[in-house]
Amino acid sequence: MNFWPHTPKMKRVLTSSESLLSIRLFSKNAPHVILIFAGPYPTSGLQFLKDKGASMDEIHTLLKPSPGVQNVAAAMENLLLAAANMGYGGCWMTGPNYASEEICEVIGFEKEGYYLACMTPMGVPESFDVNQPPRKAVDDVTTFI
């Protein structure tokens, strides 16, 4: 069985119930799934740029780092680190977002302007043995100016 509607081998698009079933099968051993929703995030400086007649290029430059998404990313990372510290495991996922409308419908989430940003199955891992590639040297991944 293919689990994702975007898998190239699939002959058809999954129905809503099949989509939700595929998410459940993917995280079948996790007793919980934590959903993180994001909403409107007013970027400081945006109104200032608009008031001074900034060009669209200047405005896009301000919005390019997506501060709202950065906040979601920080929240998810902190959640996963705290969970791991307490002996739980999770996996930052955005793949199942293709079924966000169905997921919202099933859980009854109806908050105007908010969207499913990411999720994580959460449970006690069968093993904490993780294959990690060797760490790169700090100089290989960092530039100090």
- Work out the burial of residue 21: count CB atoms within 10 Å of its CB; fewer than 13 is exposed, 13-18 middle, 19 or more buried: middle
CB atoms under 10 Å from CB of 48, counted, come to 10
pLDDT in tens, 65-93: 788 888 999 999 999 999 989 988 888 88
Model pTM score? 0.65
Q: Find the mean pLDDT for residues 120-145.
A: 85
Residue with tokens 């190239």: 8
3-state secondary structure (DSSP) of residue 54? coil
Confidence of residue 44 (pLDDT cuts 50, 70, 90): confident
| Fold designation for 16-126 | NADH Oxidase (3.40.109)
